[in-house]
Structure 1
Amino acid sequence: MDKIVIEGGHRLEGKVRINGAKNAALPIMAACLLLHGPSRIKGIPNIVDIQTQIKILKNLGGDIRHIEDGSLGIIFRDGEHKEKITAPYDLVRKMRASVCVLGPLLSKRGNAKVSYPGGCVIGQRPIDLHLKGLKALGARIETDEGYVIASAGTLKGTRISLKGQYGTTVLGTCNVMTAAVLAEGTTIIEDAACEPEVQDLAYFLNKAGAKISGIGGSILTIEGVKELHGVDYEIIPDRIEAGTFMIAGAITKGEITLENVRNDHLVATIEKLREIGVEVTANGNTAVVKSNNTYRPANITTMPYPCLPTDMQAQFMALLCTISGKSVIAEKIFPDRFIHSAELRRMGADIRVDVPYATINGSPFLSGTHVMVSDLRAGAGLVLAGLVAKGTTHIHRIYHLDRGYEQIEKRLSQLGAHITRVSE
């Protein structure tokens, strides 16, 4: 098992290219189950979650290969492997997004057996809205020994609401959308998730021959079609990775140029950084983050897109811990998502958690120590704190980080960080 070791106190400077969005890539890869003919997907990052998804799709009969230009070639041959309908526990337990094969399997093969998903421990994330939507389309669903077992003859379009206790469901919207594109008639999804990753899946399906309208809004209209064809497609840049590197530049009082970004997907993150006092210049597909050496505390509330994403909460917490004054974070998506606060306190941060709020009394002085990663974004927050902590920070259980960030230590090192990966 590896760990990351950081010697803090070094200003970051230079350019970094942002990879494709893992949260767009995973459901798009699963949607290839629906397509007739080969597809080439460009921009897919080389991370553990993608490797896990490849294993799941191969287990379902997919022919998947890496292409020289960095693309991924995916084909499911019609008439073959129809009996392969199981996404097993030993793979699905590793990441929650693997549940997004449920809708395509049900739609294309009429049956699906998918283990309840695993992934990061960040609070309750039930899949009841997924199942509610699929049942509305006509699926028969039962659970047995930790598996969702779904079957259907012909799915039929209907009107569905996907509103839950904490708002919309991203993966649930993806599952219902992919099930509905081949259904008879018209499906209207109310309270659909509006996140860019959901939009990207819809654009991918439309390019493959689907008829989805209302993309980017909370009401999606899907007219069922008979068949979808393979496509060439490039996924969107990862807005969470971009935000993480923006805060890396800000927290070290550095200057970083980010390439291959969608600034329109980063509006809430950029606005909050500017409110704190960070200079952000967004131009085309680049963004420049620069310190003006005077930062202010801020209050943050995580909400569904287009508001500040919950996946940026830990990174902002790390930044606010280094800014003198009182800041408050309200976590409205996953109220229990504050496990990383205990590790930041080990580094000297003053944080009080009263769910769903965290109150931070910031100080410019953090100290390096041994900390453990509890989930993917918590790991990113601890890395950011380590970049400015006095002394040496040892970050353990970094397999969580590898799920979502490709070679983060090498890319930060190229910007001037003193960071290495070592074997424990």
Structure 2
Amino acid sequence: MADSHRNAFENAQRQFDLAAEKLNLDHSLRRVLRVPQRELSVNFPVKMDNGEIQVFSGYRVQHNVSRGPAKGGIRYHHAVDIDEVRALAMWMTWKCALVNIPYGGAKGGVIVDPTKLSQSELERLTRRFATEISILVGAEKDIPAPDVGTNGQVMAWFMDTISMHRGYTVPAVITGKPVEVGGSLGRVEATGRGVSIVAREAAKHLGLRIEGATVVIQGFGNVGSVTADMMQRMGSKVIAVSDVSGGYYNRRGLNIPEMIAYTKQHRSLEGYQAEGIERVSNSELLEIECDILAPCALENQITEENAGRIRCKLLVEGANGPTTPEADDILFEKGIFVVPDILANAGGVTVSYFEWVQGLQEFFWTEEEINNKLERIMQHSFESVLAQTLKHKVSMRMGGYMVAVARVAEATQIRGIYP
């Protein structure tokens, strides 16, 4: 689905450079902030169910920790590479700063297709990877979370592994855990909920009625499916969704609860059928005329090749880095209002922060309290980005980067350079 010819880290650095220029940031500070602070690359053996030993490669990158401990997910995907992880870590730095939570950015990944592993193989891989990167992680220094290809169970194994090493339970070392072992209520839905909140706020700004608005969503994993469900609950009409099996389009609207139930049973939408559905490719899906388009899959989905054919009024980035800088320029010229990833999908890390705080103090909030706190943070963050955007007459992405980069730069300057 992603364009493998594009380097995600180069895109991330270019986005930073543009914001740094707009902020007239000191060049010494630019050199510090445009590269990761710390990178760990590991190659580790895992015993497979048939007794064979396979060696897997993985990474953990910390981009910046000026505002607090590093925070970022762990991705299991066959296309993971070091530059992708670097980019994701950098985006996490800006995302945490944008919603003003006390974290720096990090990311991790293992080069593996998790669907080809048994549950026991997946557990052994997770525990070994957790051990390999344990020199970096900790509740006070680097807190991983789920990402593409990982889930609450994987996080539980990760937390248990670190806890076994320490000799006592350390719930705050990881977020996105099941509630039964210290996870937070509302965490699973948090990213998709955040996407739908900022979509609603952006629609309000544009004078677009959210009730009856047509919505297209690329990706039907945790983020995409929750976004689809939330948008439908708001009264929008979800007309197309897609996953690895392709796209499913019905101009009259899709039965999202039925499709979610199907994926829970079959692990994807492969084989799903319903009256009136047309099959489209993932690339065709992005070009369907609609009010709101939400790319919630992988990076580099909207490029200079297809940006001119995008036909939406509002684009809300549920995925990390789905739009290239070149495509950004085209969309801006077309008058498409883009809510950038560092704002749109920040609901997940926000509730991860709530989970971390609850784990540290061993005191838990209700789901209603979690959702209300998330709502306030997402609304306030949208308003701060919009204000910067209107003040400087720039895109929402540039407005968001200006807010986030300025906060990280200020923290870095105040702390100074050691020694």
Same fold at TM > 0.5 = no
Larger radius of gyration: 1
Higher relative contact order, structure no. (Cα contacts within 8 Å, ≥ 6 residues apart):
1
TM-score (norm 2): 0.29
Structure with higher strand content: 1
